[in-house]
Chain A
């Protein structure tokens, strides 16, 4: 039961993007296509879960003075593993994502969860927390890219939804559109689920 709570908390109620406003930069960059978002999300879930697990396992031996360096090192290692894996096995997607996979390391969510959760909790709990935070992040990416791909290309996951009459909104293809879609998403969620005052 406790696992489930940890997952729900980190994925939804304390979602990194819409509650803590972390990881925004990559939410802007890769959300032009749903497929890219999904792969990016899976990469982040993987990195978060295993980085959290590893950091949590060694937390009792890690000296406080170097803990940030160790966390960065571990996160970086997992990011590079994801990058190499994509290059070797999914080269087409790797080319599309370009430099963004490497940039998972700059995703603030990773350091955030490592510092806030993994360095103080048991390995398995941290692992679940990592998956939860990753799922929450992926959910946001998918929501944004759904709007962007639908308007920008008239497709969902590459399948044409609208016919050829659809006029493509090229602003949706460009990164700036993610700014206001993300803003609207956060606005909507906060007013609907958290009863924030407008």
Chain B
């Protein structure tokens, strides 16, 4: 099956950058995470294959695996395996292939898939979270299927903050990642290191990462002055999104100014949605909305003569 895969160095590097996050996640939540990621990758491969198998010389792009890994790592570790597959299929089919395949999609496919399952299955996506293994529990999840016994329901950092305005975990735990949450998003530290690797290898643009992060900090400081804005940055999916999602080379803008506007908008909308809407997690909606408006903004910038 591998002879029809299009090799893409850039996408390989994103996959390398995801390995530490994946390993850490397995340690926290058990080997089940690996199964969730694997199923998503297989589903993504076959979905893309279905679209291209008739075309002569059509190849499955490496980006499909990046998308599948990203979307599956953004799901809660308790997610039923078939939902992980649905997320990957929707990501590839509706996020990418209907727009014409690799390089032509306007929305970030991984985020699109996650939003689809988030709206479809609110129970599975927002109710049960696993209590992670801590450092002292070595070898933790590497030898266990799942930490199901330590099930904890209904409280991620963001949800508990919304309902009781109390912080659930200390800043240090949230930064290092020994917290419950979606599989891949818990450790801000590892994601940060991965981000630095991506920037050094010129895989991702530093402008979009920095722009989004600064905008997130600024607006959470404006909207929630009582909370340390850095706490918001390291909690929830924000950090994961900043490093892996906004930097998607296809759906993010290319222009010098456009990229900063992009970051600014994503940050603003994330905080705004977290603060005022029904949904605790705003990052995915923010990114999709920004994706939808970016072509228009870029066009406007071009008309105005700034590039």
The reply, when asked whether chain A contacts chain B directly with Cβ atoms under 8 A, is: yes
Main secondary structure of the interface of A (DSSP, over half): helix
0 or 1 for each of B76-99: is its CB under 8 Å from A? (1 = yes): 000010010000000000100000
Q: Is B119 within 8 A of A174, CB to CB?
A: yes
* Residues on B with beta carbons closer than 8 Å to the beta carbon of A174: 119
- Contact count A vs B, C-beta below 8 Å: 17
Of residues 102 through 134 on chain B, the ones whose CB sits less than 8 Å from some CB of chain A are 116, 119-124
Q: How many residues of B contact A (CB 8 A)?
A: 10
Closest chain-B Cβ to A21's Cβ sits at a distance in Å of 17
Nearest CB in chain B: distance from A4 CB, A: 37
Contact partner, A170, options B80, B83, B94, B119, Cβ 8 Å: B119
Which residues of A lie under 8 Å from residue B122 when comparing CB positions? Answer: 170
**Residues of the A chain whose Cβ atoms lie less than 8 Å from the Cβ of B119:** 170-171, 174
B residues near A167, Cβ cutoff 8 Å: 80, 83, 121, 123-124
Report how far A167 CA is from B124 CA in the complex, Å: 9
Chain B nearest CB, measured from A157 CB (Å)? 22
Contact B94 A171 (CB under 8 A): no
B271 to chain A, nearest CB (A): 24
Query: Interface residues of B: mostly helix, strand, loop or mixed?
Result: helix
CA distance A171 to B124 in the complex (A): 13
CB distance from A185 to the nearest CB of B (A): 14
Query: Given the complex, which residues of B lie within 8 Å of A180, measured CB to CB?
Result: 94
| Smallest CB separation, A42 vs chain B (Å) | 30
Q: In the assembled complex, how far is the CB of residue A158 from the closest CB belonging to chain B, in whole angstroms?
A: 21
B-chain residues with CB within 8 Å of residue A169 when the two chains form the complex: 120-121
**Contact residues, B39-91 vs A (CB, 8 A):** 80, 83
Give A167 to B83 CA distance when docked, in angstroms: 10
Report the bound CA distance from A54 to B19 in whole Å: 70
- Taking the closest CB of chain B, its distance from the CB of A154, in whole angstroms, is 13
A150, B122: Cα distance in complex, Å: 18
CA distance in complex: A171, B94 (Å): 15
A171-185 interface code vs B (CB 8 A; 1 in, 0 out): 110100000100000
Complex Cα distance A80/B212, Å? Answer: 53
1/0 per position for B143-169, CB-CB distance to A under 8 A?
000000000000000000000000000
* Complex: A169 Cα to B86 Cα, angstroms: 11
Chain A nearest Cβ from B106, distance in angstroms: 15
Contact B120 A172 (CB under 8 A): yes
Name the residue on B nearest A152 (C-beta). Answer: B120
Expressed in whole angstroms, the Cα–Cα distance for A174 and B115 within the complex equals 14
The 14 sampled A-B contact pairs (Cβ below 8 Å) are A167-B80, A167-B83, A167-B121, A167-B123, A167-B124, A169-B121, A170-B119, A170-B120, A170-B121, A170-B122, A171-B119, A172-B120, A174-B119, A180-B94
Residues of B at under 8 Å CB distance from A?
Answer: 80, 83, 94, 116, 119-124
- 15 more CB-based (< 8 A) A-B contacts, given A169-B121, A171-B120: A167-B80, A167-B83, A167-B121, A167-B123, A167-B124, A169-B120, A170-B119, A170-B120, A170-B121, A170-B122, A171-B116, A171-B119, A172-B120, A174-B119, A180-B94
